[in-house]
Structure 1
């Protein structure tokens, strides 16, 4: 089920939902990695956006 876009608060911005393709695609494009790499990072590190962005930079640097 899709997010209810009319109900937003700051907690939603701090998380990346693996079920929402647009959130995964956005992070993948922003970090220049694949969507599958984003999903793998979420499995390994949880869905905190800051942690995922740092992990994406590290995986890109390798």
Structure 2
């Protein structure tokens, strides 16, 4: 048997989800990331502006600042 290829989930509207990114304009995503990393929401937004919206890059940046 061939291994299954990892695919992105499809939303009810037929769009692809990308959980590897943080949407800086979505307050619930910023709050989630802030709670997860133990930092404030403004700190997360600042990290998004500095390192981009990659979830791993943001978490790494916030961990180094803490």
Please give the range of the TM-score, normalised by the shorter of the 2 chains.
Answer: 0.7 to 0.9
What is the deviation of 1:8?
Answer: 5.4
TM-score for the superposition, normalised by structure 2: 0.74
Given candidates 26, 32, 45, the residue that maps to 1:26 is: 32
The CA RMSD measured in Å over matched residues stands at 1.5
Bigger Rg, which one: 2
Unpaired runs of 5+ residues, structure 2, are 1-10
| Structure (1 or 2) with the greater helix fraction | 1
> Higher relative contact order at CA 8 Å, sep ≥6: structure 1 or structure 2?
1
Structure 1, unpaired ranges of 5+: none
How far residue 59 of structure 1 moved from its aligned partner, in angstroms, is 1.3
Given the two structures, how large is their TM-score scaled by the length of structure 1?
0.79
Runs ≥4 residues deviating over 4 A: none
